[in-house]
């Protein structure tokens, strides 16, 4: 279960509204755990039930960070398309303008 308490806003926008987090392609993932060890934000975990790597805390992911993706030898980690993400972020910015 994802931990969502004490999330910090990102540039004044509530983190839970920002769609930036990794997804794992289960067909490519070998559950090696390199991403679990590489991520300093605790995004990944190994499921007690299945033994598979899961995105356990997606909203703890640092916006625009993709460093874990480069640690995956199977290229099983992906992030949102940056162009689409920028459009979504621009819409959020209109709802949450920067503080003056």
Q: Is 84 a residue whose pLDDT tops 90?
A: yes
Mean pLDDT calculated for residue range 66-93: 97
Determine the average pLDDT of the residues in 33-43: 96
3 state SS of 6 = coil
Domain 16-94 has CATH 2.40.30.60: no
User: What average pLDDT does this structure show over 15-32?
Assistant: 97
Structure tokens at 86: 């920028």
| 46-78: pLDDT as tens digits | 999 999 999 999 999 999 999 999 999 999 999
Report which of 17, 65, 39, 43 is spatially closest to residue 9, judged by C-alpha positions. Answer: 17
Residue spans per domain, the chain:
16-94
pLDDT at 4 over 90: no
Matching residue, tokens 């640690």:
71
Instruction: Determine the Cα–Cα distance for residues 66 and 32; give it in Å rounded to an integer.
Output: 18
Token pair for residue 90?
């621009």
């Amino acid at each position: 279960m994802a931990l969502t308490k004490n999330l910090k806003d990102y540039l004044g926008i509530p983190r839970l509204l920002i769609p930036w987090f990794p997804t794992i392609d289960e067909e490519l993932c070998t559950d090696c755990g390199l991403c679990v060890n590489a991520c300093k934000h605790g995004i990944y975990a190994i499921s007690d039930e299945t033994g598979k790597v899961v995105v356990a805390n997606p909203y703890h992911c640092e916006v625009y960070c993709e460093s874990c993706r480069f640690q995956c030898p199977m290229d099983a980690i992906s992030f949102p398309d940056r162009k689409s993400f920028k459009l979504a972020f621009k819409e959020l910015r209109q709802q949450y303008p920067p503080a003056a």
